[in-house]
């Protein structure tokens, strides 16, 4: 399993009738892997997973899993909820279906950091696949510090963290200064990818990498190679593009851009999301 490089959390494209456009989904999966992505993430936030029926989720996993097996790429699947027992059940269902599971820090419940550690300790004892902790405090309401993330990284079935704290804070610097062995720190806030790579992150899980996938992969390689001048310039350009993709709630602008470029049949999203404004879509297109 490779938890480095660029992993693309695929959108869920919809057809004119509101059903999933499965052919477009498969085409997107192949396209980002063709362009240099190391893996796919199915059923992440970008996939509008909360709006998908259970049979739709199974179909998405099946398609993404088939593509990843054909291409020798890593498949990570979003799984679980704020409840430890139901999350463990969801993880057990991924046996033979995924290479890793992306599991969010419990949202809304807002446990203490000791509770977060206990949650993932219990999951690590039961999961058949490695876990990637999703640390995204502006969605969960729960901040997890570097010390706790380091302890999570020492658990035998915790392979990494998708780190999306809205910037580069002191905990980010502290974690990357001394990460646990074999623990992947993956940037989860697209505009800050280059900054985290400069500090030692191993890659990113990035919605905006549906576009310019090859350049995102090139950015990872540039920082690894120590080509600082090129990495800075490329990272700055990609950061501006990424920021434009998040001008409205994700993935509304991204879907508008993909539709405008003929890569998905509609820009439709499911309520409670509404389509992005034409102004935001056009602004994002200009960055391309």
- Residue in 95, 138, 162, 255 annotated catalytic: 162
- At residue 41, φ and ψ (nearest 5 deg) are -120, 120
Q: Active-site residue 95, yes or no? A: no
- Under DSSP, the state recorded for 162 is E
Distance CA 187, CA 208 (A): 12
Closest CA to 7 of 210, 195, 183: 210
Closest CA to 162 of 98, 76, 238, 87: 76
Residue found under tokens 């994700």: 250
Number of residues that this document lists for the chain: 288
The annotation status of 281 as a binding-site residue, yes or no, is: no
Task: State whether residue 49 is helix, strand or coil.
Answer: helix
- Vertex 57 angle, CA 52 and 58, to 5°: 155
Distance CA 17, CA 227 (A): 48
Given a contact cutoff of 8 angstroms between Cβ atoms, the answer to whether 185 and 161 are in contact is yes
Helix 213-225 / helix 228-245 crossing angle, nearest 10 deg: 150
**Which residues on adjacent β-strands are paired with residue 76?**
41, 100
Cα 37 to chain centroid, rounded: 12
- Vertex 160 angle, CA 77 and 219, to 5°: 90
Q: Active-site residue 162, yes or no? A: yes
Q: Determine which helix (DSSP H) or strand (DSSP E) holds 275, and give its type and residue range.
A: none
Q: How far is CA 46 from CA 11, 78, 188, 210, 273, in A?
A: 5, 10, 12, 11, 12
The annotation status of 46 as a binding-site residue, yes or no, is: yes
Annotated binding site: 46, 205
Bind-site residues for pyruvate: 46, 205
Residues catalogued as catalytic:
134, 162
């Amino acid at each position: 399993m490779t938890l480095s490089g660029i992993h693309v959390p695929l959108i869920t494209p919809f057809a004119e009738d509101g059903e999933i456009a499965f052919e477009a989904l498969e085409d997107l999966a192949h396209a980002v892997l063709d362009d240099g992505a190391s893996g796919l993430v199915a059923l992440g936030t970008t996939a509008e997973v909360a709006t998908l029926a259970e049979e739709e989720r199974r179909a998405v996993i099946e398609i993404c899993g088939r593509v990843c097996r054909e291409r020798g790429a890593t498949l990570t699947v979003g799984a679980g909820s704020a409840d430890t027992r139901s999350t463990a059940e969801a993880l057990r269902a991924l046996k033979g279906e995924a290479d890793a599971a992306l599991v969010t820090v419990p949202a809304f419940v807002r446990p203490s950091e000791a509770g977060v550690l206990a949650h993932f300790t219990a999951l690590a004892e039961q999961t058949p696949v490695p876990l990637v902790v999703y640390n995204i405090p502006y969605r969960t309401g729960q901040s997890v510090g570097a010390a706790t993330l380091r302890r999570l990284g020492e658990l035998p079935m915790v392979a990494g963290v998708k780190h999306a704290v809205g910037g580069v804070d002191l905990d980010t610097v502290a974690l990357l200064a001394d990460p646990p062995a074999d623990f992947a720190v993956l940037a989860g806030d697209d505009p800050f990818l280059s900054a985290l790579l400069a500090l030692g992150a191993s890659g990113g899980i990035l919605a905006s990498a549906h576009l310019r996938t090859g350049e995102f992969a090139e950015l990872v390689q540039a920082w690894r190679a120590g080509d600082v001048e090129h990495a800075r310039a490329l990272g700055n350009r990609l950061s501006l593009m990424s920021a434009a993709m998040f001008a409205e709630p994700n993935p509304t602008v991204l879907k508008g851009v993909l539709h405008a470029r003929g890569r998905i049949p509609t820009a439709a999203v499911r309520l409670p999301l509404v389509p992005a404004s034409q102004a935001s879509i056009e602004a994002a297109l200009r960055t391309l």
